[in-house]
Homo-oligomer: A and B are copies of this chain.
Amino acid sequence: MTDIEAAALTTGGDVGYLRVATEEAWATQEIVDEWKRMIEAGEGGRGFHSLVGHYMTSDAERPRFVRAGLVDSDELRLGHMDAAGIDHAILALTAPGTQALDGSRGRAIATNANDILAEAVERHPTRFSGLAAVSLEDVPSAVAELERAVAKLGLRGLIVNSHIRGRYLSDPEFWPILEAVEALDVPLYLHPNTPNDSMIGTLHDSGLDGSVFGFQVETSMHALKMITSGVFDRFPELRLVLGHMGEALPFWLYRFDYMHAGMVAAGRYPAIRPLERKISDYIRENVWMTTSGMPAPEPILFSRKVLGNNRVMYAMDYPYEYVPDEVRMQDALPLTPAEKKSFFQDIAIDVFRLEESKLLSR
């Protein structure tokens, strides 16, 4: 603990950069109460019960810590940020957000959440930014709420907690939302959820449906579905952010390109069509990635190498993962001071269009 306490004194200014944590989980008491009601009522499906049931009802130490941290945007969270040396956190409604809810309940809860998050940012403008949540079930109202949350409330992007009760953003039904994201010049953060109920069985039977494995299956699949469906040909300026070191997409670039080209050439699937660029091009040019839950240096350095130096940014994943030593691991990355400033601070400022002067006024 001595090292951690010492590190707490090391604020961003001292080390040459601000530490901006870009995938930080948050919830309103209202949505927590609604989730608990659904758990008790048996609503919401297998993935919902596995994930939310665990974090909202387990008596074990880690879920209790998560429950307390999620709904706080004042002393508790700021104290932990101070202790870990985090200057600024980008908060977003945690999985599954309102995406397990039907449209009418989801819409009201998401709108309230955006208001409450904007108030937290207003209370602590140097410490917090926020992403907008919308109910994706009704597309026109989702677009309207996103526009309100960005233009009126000052939120910095859209959080999507993967599947929308089994549907995906590759479905053109959702494309007006993507069009609005692009037009508003904000990023879409595609956060994990448990795999949709039609594919969760084998994973859940083995306890592998959650963050240990199923999250990355679900989220990398969602991103690939978006790419292969032509989302980024239609919206070439759309900025997608993935956590967990890109859900391992950087590992597969060669194979994605080779096999996708083979499928296109063979006409194997109706859903696989020629694209304007290679799969790896979209991953390199439309996707940014954060290190939430992936603080080990090797995957970070690997991803920087294959993607370029301006694609990978820091995240903690608080309160699911609160390990101040992981901040120190990333402080110690073998990067130049300028590269480290970019990794911890400048890429986030650029991707989320943060107001640098506000951050630096801390």
Residues of A bordering B, CB below 8 Å: 54, 58, 60-63, 166, 168, 170, 195-196, 198-203, 205-208, 210-213, 216-217, 220-221, 224-225, 228-229, 244-245, 248, 251-256, 258-260, 262-263, 265-272, 293-296, 298-299, 302, 305-306, 321
Contact = CB atoms under 8 A, between A and B. Distances in A.
Contacts of A248: 248, 251-252
24 contacts: A62-B262, A62-B265, A166-B202, A168-B202, A170-B206, A196-B202, A199-B200, A199-B201, A199-B203, A206-B221, A206-B228, A206-B271, A207-B263, A208-B225, A212-B256, A212-B259, A213-B256, A216-B252, A217-B217, A248-B252, A254-B294, A258-B293, A298-B305, A298-B306
Nearest to A218: B202
**This chain's copy number in the assembly:** 2
Contacts of A195: 199, 202
B298 A302 contact: yes
Contact of A60 (B58, B210, B266, B299): B266
A221 B202 contact: yes
Contacts of A294: 254-255
A78 B175 CA distance: 51
A61 B228 contact: no
A201 B202 contact: no
Name the residue in A58, A251, A256, A259 with the highest tally of chain B Cβ atoms < 10 Å from its Cβ: A251
Contact of A211 (B58, B199, B220, B259): B259
Given A54-B268, A266-B54, A207 B221 contact: no
A255 B263 contact: no
A293 B221 CA distance: 19
Given A62-B266, A251-B302, 5 more contacts: A206-B269, A208-B228, A211-B259, A212-B259, A255-B294
Nearest to A266: B60
Nearest to A198: B201
